[in-house]
Amino acid sequence: MNGLVLIDKPLDCTSHDIVLGLRKILSEPHIGHFGTLDPMASGLLVAALGKAARFFPFFSKENKSYEGRIRLGQATDTYDAQGTALAAPTRELPDEAVLRRAMAKYFGQIQQVPPPFSAKKFQGKPFYKIARSGGEPPRVPSPVFIHGFELVAYDPPDADIKVTCSAGTYIRSLAHDLGRDLGCGGHLTRLRRTRCGGYSVEQALTIEQVRELAASGRAESAVIPLEALLTDFRRVDLTESDSRLARNGRSLPLEEGPAGPYQSPGPSDLDKGEPVFMRMFNPEGRLIALAKWDAGLKTLHPFLVLE
């Protein structure tokens, strides 16, 4: 079984717990996910089955959207409600105008330090293991991009927010840093992922729904097949002989238009000098490879062969 399963992850379980559950329900040992959610977070978890896991380099770069709640007035060591308070709570909280001005600083590219209790690794060891053993994970900032940081409601000390951001952004760090800038401290108390790239949590199933589908022999209806993925890549339909060449990683010439051997609809952008990725389909309509257009050689080179 190959493809994606969109899961609405509940609270109080890990992303790995979901993966283990899917492996058992679907009898598929090769399952991973594209983007961890903390146990205190719910929402969209994109699970990859079989060969779909090889698409990680593409899905891992997708923007993500969240809804959450930040409690101002107190910081914690984990930057969320599950951590230990770093100081007594304060009642000296900003008004809404001050809060909005502080949030406005977090638009565009920023430098962000990951939480000390996180799955990010240093020398092969997760930060949370370093922190739990009494060590200090390195505080090295990474560039992330905040596309939107919206205040939905403010009922002090709680601020309800919506965030759209690049992959690798920690909303916990956003809450912690905002509280630090305001001088009152802050931590995340609620988080729900609502979107990952082109997929929304409204499209997701619960793990119980997947179990019910599998029990009724309809497990495949929970899976988005390989052929429906990466649809922003142009499609190339191959002949049987060229399908064999593609499976062996051989480059192929590409001619566009009605007289060409391949169907590649849409406006031509092959000579703009930018990378152009394509999906190669065999005559039966199966996705057999991903390819990259070589503008210099005028050829299409398969770089990820699926069959």
Q: Look up residue 260 and give its amino acid.
A: G
First CA to last CA distance, the chain: 13
**Residue 173: in which H helix or E strand, if any?**
helix 171-182
φ, ψ of residue 275 to 5 degrees: the values are -60, 135
E strands, the chain, where? 3-9, 31-33, 41-49, 64-72, 108-112, 121-122, 125-126, 142-155, 158-165, 186-196, 199-200, 234-237, 252-253, 277-281, 287-294, 299-305
Structure token pair of residue 289: 């490879």
Q: Look up residue 240 and give its amino acid.
A: E
The tally of CA atoms less than 13 A away on the side-chain side of residue 214 is 18
Residues belonging to the active site: 38
CA 276, CA 234: separation in Å to the nearest integer? 8
CA 234, CA 242: separation in Å to the nearest integer? 17
Tell me the three state secondary structure of residue 244: helix
**Structural Rg of the chain based on CA atoms:** 23
Q: Torsion over CA of 234, 296, 306 and 286, rounded to 10 degrees?
A: 40
